[in-house]
Structure 1
Amino acid sequence: MTTKADTEQPDVQQLADDNTVILDTPIRRGTNSIESITLRKPNSGELRGVSLVDLLRMDVASVIKVLPRISTPSLTAVEVSAMDPADLLELGSKISGFLLQKSAKTDASLVA
């Protein structure tokens, strides 16, 4: 039996949590520490100057270029360049996921 709650779209908070990465190594910014980063799906203009194929392959230079454009808090290219590789990989995989259509994510079992 399917209930109304089963068929509703996920709420904004759940989507934000899906796009939030808790960093293994927090980023130091002055006296503050950034411990998590939330990404939003980029629009086409924010992908200018970057090969989509390179983003799908999680090319480091491409991720470093796009990440500051779509992150909250907004990061600098220098901060991204100094990031722990494990954190960069996690954020890169989120960016790659943004480039896939919903049907491709379902086919690849990338969505619940």
Structure 2
Amino acid sequence: MSKPETDQAAQKAEPAAVAPEAEAAKNPNMEVVELDTPIVRGEHSIDSLTLRKPMAGELRGVSLIELMQMDVLALRKVLPRITTPTITDIEIGRMDPADLVQCGVAVSGFLLQKSAKAEASQGM
């Protein structure tokens, strides 16, 4: 095989690695939130969070209305259940308010039906 043919064969054999952020951007059940103020955990710094759509069991003990209204206490219960890396209630309490709002927008968006999301995007 010539060099170009070898390169093409190698590309077909190995699936392209997709960054977690790119994968989450394609998946309507996941959203990446870039933090304005990183969360510091020991020597590590968390610059972004991947939020996934919560299942009904992960919403236990939380009022859906409060969650849609981005109530801080409701978000503090749900976010540790749906974030990667997992963040704690204490870390959420120390978050920049702008970052918490971004997380709240993502969570409330997960609770909308597909038809409501489509109507909202057409209205923009």
Question: By the TM > 0.5 criterion, same fold?
Answer: yes
Q: Is the 8 A contact 1:54 1:62 kept in 2?
A: yes
Larger helix fraction of residues: 2
Q: Is the 8 A contact 1:16 1:38 kept in 2?
A: no
Counterpart in 2 of 1:24?
Answer: 36
Counterpart in 1 of 2:77?
Answer: 65
Give 5+ residue unaligned stretches, structure 2.
1-21
State how far apart, in whole Å, the 1-side matches of 2:52 and 2:121 are. Answer: 21
Following TM superposition, where does structure 1 have runs of at least 4 consecutive aligned residues deviating by more than 4 angstroms? Answer: none
State how far apart, in whole Å, the 1-side matches of 2:92 and 2:27 are. Answer: 21
Displacement of 1:108 after TM fit? 1.3
| Correspondent of 1:85 among 88, 91, 97 | 97
Q: Secondary structure at the match of 2:121?
A: coil
Give 5+ residue unaligned stretches, structure 1.
1-11
Q: How does 1:1-112 map to 2 (within 5 A)?
A: 13=23, 14-15=25-26, 19-109=31-121
State how far apart, in whole Å, the 1-side matches of 2:26 and 2:63 are. Answer: 26
Displacement of 1:68 after TM fit? 0.4
Q: How many residues align?
A: 100
State how far apart, in whole Å, the 1-side matches of 2:63 and 2:42 are. Answer: 33
State how far apart, in whole Å, the 2-side matches of 1:60 and 1:15 are. Answer: 28
Q: Deviations over 1:23-79 (max 9, x none)?
A: 000000000000000000000000000000000000011011100000000000000
Of all paired residues, the percent bearing the same amino acid is 58
Letter in 1 for 2:48: S
Note the aligned Cα RMSD (angstroms): 2.0
- Computing the radius of gyration over CA atoms, which structure comes out larger, 1 or 2? 2
Tell me the TM-score normalized by structure 2: 0.76
Letter in 1 for 2:31: N
Tell me the TM-score normalized by structure 1: 0.83
Displacement of 1:15 after TM fit? 2.7
Displacement of 1:109 after TM fit? 1.3
